[in-house]
Structure 1
Amino acid sequence: MPRFAANLSMLFTEVDFMDRFAAAADAGFSGVEYLFPYDFAAEEIKARLDANKLEQVLFNLPAGDWGKGERGIACHPDRAEEFRAGVDQAIAYAKVLGNSQINCLSGIRPQGYDCANIEQTLVDNLKYAAGKLEKAGIKLVMEMINTRDIPGFYLNNTKQALAIRDKVGSSNLYLQYDIYHMQIMEGDLARTVENNLAVINHVQLADNPGRHEPGSGEINYRFLFEHLDRIGYQGWIGCEYKPATTTAAGLGWLAPFHKSIHNAI
């Protein structure tokens, strides 16, 4: 069965960020992911990973000013230089932290540019990032996000992402498939993942509605976990959900998998 990673940007938020590594390990996680590492020294994060025997699974390329509502700059024609500098910064962190994949957020569609210019900017930036990361031994993934939670987010469904990937033309560009976002945007989750398994290198989860833990909403996660195992998915599943109450109280959904998931929780 797939391995589960704690998303430290969403889980264990009742403690300071650097203390979440120990909290994740205490809860049984063997891997962690989060939005960004850049507010901390890479060596400091690495020490927390090592102390808690955790694997760094994933983080994002720099995505602009998050606090001001930016959600990526990869599709912004006027931010190409900033994007490329962010690729170098992410590689430097990954070399210390040991993760072999990095996610790219395309961003919210910018105003004042035509569709062709925006798409070409994204294609060019992904091509650049995929090439640089490949030389460093790191895979690039790109994430589709629903336009309900982030209105105007440019990359928002699997069909669009596959078309972009074809235009980029790099074997080092993969999809990050977030079950929650894609339930909202397209549904047909099991079939879509199976049909595109070769290009999906990371999966994330949350239930819908509410973006809470599995079992709180409409998505049949027991079926999906068994399906992922059946079709041979070997990657991590990032637990990127908002606990309905506390993180600890919401971890009961994992109990049935304690004995059946290899090297997971």
Structure 2
Amino acid sequence: MKNHRNPRRTFLKNAALGSALATFTSGVSLANTRTEKPIRQHFNLNYAPHFGMFKNHAGNDLVDQINFMAEQGFPALEDNGLMKRSPEDQKRIGAALEKHGMTMGVFVIDPGFNWEVALTTGKETYKEAFVKECEKAVEVAKIVNAKWMTVVPGYFERNLPMDQQTANIIDAYRMGAEVFEPHGLTMVMEPLSDNPHLYLRHSNQAYMICKAVDSPAVKILYDIYHMQRNEGNLIPNMELCWEEIAYIQIGDNPGRKEPGTGEINYQNVFKWIDHKGFKGICGMEHGNASPGKEGEQALIDAYHKADAFK
């Protein structure tokens, strides 16, 4: 007895088999694509690495490092030494950031006396040098589409009363603001903890100077590492100065490495910053706790962990 096949049933069976095979091979193809090019993982906050942080993965070339940062989901870059780079490198950095839709974070304005007794003295030579460097910074900012520049007023002038020193800094920063305001740029002053000779050490000092200068071009860079060392009580102190904070930097204490390597509850701090609606940059101004590729991956993992708040 012959087995007569139903042509319609055979067609449907073959079609179903073909569809399943197509789905399977499509899945294999997608998996291979993901293996060759890692999926870009996004963060809640705008974390900005710096050059050298991922050199074991990306190599020494600046653009290759930016490419790697972008692949890992970092939306920004900061480069303290940008003004000292060649015009060619500045252009390459700007082009790479534009390609990936990344934002340029801070670079440092360094007139050459940030670690000396300078703006606190009120001397015209220091103010003129500061303004000249601000003018140079405007041109560099245009190349990389930057908005923020770090400023540090220098050391105490021990021969002047504290209020006189503060007034001298306010005068200098007003001069700098006149340079930046027409371009929509902002210098962010950073209280530091490196040594006791530094004039600007606390967030309330910076807040007072901002109020006195009264310009959108002069705001606070709140470096969480330095402020943990100098004053602690991070969230309440940030709240007190919040309206003048334009930029945030990160580093755990002790050690100044990635979140989770010290005493700061960064997941809680990041959660608070996010709930404040902060859309600016959180610069990763710290070192890697461990060397090599393993240390770099551990750093990336640490940020995903600290960023996983609800």
What TM-score does the superposition give when structure 1 sets the normalisation length? 0.84
Task: State the match for 1:250 in structure 2.
Answer: 299
Q: Are the equivalent residues in 2 in contact too, given 1:180–1:207 (CA < 8 A)?
A: yes
Q: Give the alignment of 1:169-188 within 5 angstroms.
A: 169-188=214-233
Number of residues paired by the alignment? 255
Q: Which moved more, 1:107-116 or 1:197-206?
A: 107-116
User: What letter is aligned with 2:62?
Assistant: M
- SS state at 1:213 partner: coil
In the alignment, which of 208, 217, 222 is matched to residue 262 of structure 2?
Answer: 217
Q: C-alpha distance in 1, partners of 2:48/2:252?
A: 16
Q: Give the alignment of 1:85-234 within 5 angstroms.
A: 85-109=132-156, 115=162, 118-146=165-193, 149-234=194-279
- Whether 2:286 is the aligned partner of 1:241: answer yes
User: What letter is aligned with 1:249?
Assistant: A
User: What letter is aligned with 1:234?
Assistant: K
Q: C-alpha distance in 1, partners of 2:207/2:308?
A: 36
Consecutive unaligned residues of structure 2, counting only runs of 5 or more, are 1-43
Identical residues among aligned pairs (%): 26
Q: C-alpha distance in 2, partners of 1:118/1:125?
A: 11
Task: State the match for 2:47 in structure 1.
Answer: 4
CA RMSD, 1 decimal: 2.7
Consecutive unaligned residues of structure 1, counting only runs of 5 or more, are none
Q: C-alpha distance in 1, partners of 2:45/2:215?
A: 26
State the Cα deviation string for residues 150-201 of structure 1 (Å, max 9, x = none): 3411111011112222332324321110111000111111111123221111
Q: Give the alignment of 1:54-69 within 5 angstroms.
A: 54-64=102-112
User: Cα distance 1:155–1:191, how it changes in 2: closer, same or farther (>3 A)?
Assistant: same
User: What letter is aligned with 2:49?
Assistant: A
Task: State the match for 2:97 in structure 1.
Answer: 49
User: Cα distance 1:111–1:63, how it changes in 2: closer, same or farther (>3 A)?
Assistant: farther
Q: Give the alignment of 1:7-26 within 5 angstroms.
A: 7-8=50-51, 11-12=53-54, 15-16=59-60, 18-19=62-63, 20-26=65-71
- Bigger relative contact order, structure 1 or 2 (CA pairs below 8 A, ≥6 apart): 1
User: What letter is aligned with 2:50?
Assistant: N
- SS state at 1:248 partner: helix
Q: Which moved more, 1:12-21 or 1:30-39?
A: 12-21
